[in-house]
């Protein structure tokens, strides 16, 4: 793979990351807009990690730690870069971040039908917890 570098995103990356997710990510998130991504970077400057090769964006992951749990979101790799270890590098960088912050366990929400993601998370050592489901409520803005 060579030359892939992982670094935290800055405010200057917001538009580029949003465009990248349209091409590379699974579905859309409730926070996929300039305000949402800017808020993430301002609140937790190390959380959004970018994998790049010579400035080209190859992948992203959000490694969010709230002091209690370590959540991974928005793992996405450009179609042209898949199966070259980019997700592995991003998840590794995220886990090192969590370890440095004192996190104890990382988790990811993965769609039931996303077999490729299941294989990727399993290859990275993650195990599905069948006994949990996500309960959600949109917040008024
Ligand atoms: C899922 C995704 C992030 C994987 O990224 P990637 O950079 O291709 O993954 P890696 O190259 O690091 O693969 C690591 C391992 O995961 C498994 N894996 C990844 N993609 C796979 C595929 N298409 N089929 C089978 N196994 C796969 C393999 O074990 C692989 O190791 P190997 O290549 O040595 O066999 C990428 O396909 C993607 O962006 N998909 C769309 C967005 C998405 O679904 N994100 C996950 C949200 S939870």
Q: Where are the domains of the chain?
A: 4-123
pLDDT of 1 strictly over 90 = no
pTM of the predicted structure, to 2 decimals: 0.97
Name the closest-CA residue to atom 3, ligand 1: 76
Gap from CA of 42 to ligand 1 centroid (Å)? 29
Contacting residues for 16 by C-beta, under 8 A, at least 6 apart: 57
- Give 19's pLDDT tier (boundaries 50, 70, 90): very high
Angle at 87 between CA 81 and CA 114, to 5 degrees: 95
Q: How far apart are CA 58 and CA 77, in angstroms?
A: 6
User: Taking the CB of residue 135, how many other CB atoms lie within 10 A of it?
Assistant: 5
CATH number, span 4-123 = 3.40.630.30
pLDDT (tens digit per residue) in 107-130: 999 999 999 999 999 999 999 999
Mean pLDDT of the chain: 96
Residue of 81, 116, 128 to test ligand 1 pocket, by largest number of atoms within 8 Å of CB: 116
Gap from CA of 116 to ligand 1 centroid (Å)? 6
Return the pLDDT at 140.
86
């Amino acid at each position: 793979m060579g030359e892939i570098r992982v670094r935290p995103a800055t405010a200057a990356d917001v538009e580029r990351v949003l465009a990248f997710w349209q091409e590379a990510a699974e579905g859309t998130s409730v926070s996929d807009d300039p305000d949402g991504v800017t808020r993430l970077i301002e609140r937790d400057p190390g959380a959004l990690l970018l994998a790049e090769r010579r400035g080209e964006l190859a992948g992203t992951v959000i490694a969010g730690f709230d002091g209690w749990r370590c959540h991974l979101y928005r793992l996405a790799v450009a179609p042209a870069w898949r199966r070259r270890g980019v997700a592995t590098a991003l998840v590794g960088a995220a886990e090192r971040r969590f370890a440095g912050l004192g996190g104890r366990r990382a988790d990811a929400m993965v769609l039931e039908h996303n077999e490729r993601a299941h294989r990727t998370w399993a290859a990275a050592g993650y195990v599905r917890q069948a006994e949990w489901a996500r309960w959600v409520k949109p917040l008024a803005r």
